[in-house]
Structure 1
């Protein structure tokens, strides 16, 4: 079951369960579309790619609530670009 994290890890933008601009990597690192573009589609934590996060149907939210845990780890883009351009 996906956590459906509430914010972008980099900019802390709010990403509710039905956000159209939420992206995740294979480990569920969560970023908004703007940050994914700046990250050149490469997760700064695992080096994997991003996919659009699915939307949990509202009717399932009570039984399967989304995460309320905020993970905020702003990216040092200079370091990130060096890693992905090796």
Structure 2
């Protein structure tokens, strides 16, 4: 998995350290929703059953490099 320096830094935060690499791969490979931001970065979301939350993965424009990941509490609200 390719990552940015920002991701490597932010991954050290306590709330981000719990996010498993296999969950990130799951979101990238099988997203429930995908959006392209105005800057070209790609947002992907998927439900992580073990965590019982939606995980958002933000990729660079290449679609391969992970820039950010976090549990997105507001995503479920957009499903209504």
TM-score by length of 1: 0.25
User: Which structure carries more helix by proportion?
Assistant: 2
Greater RCO structure (CA 8 Å; 6+ sep): 1
Q: Which structure's CA Rg is the greater one?
A: 1
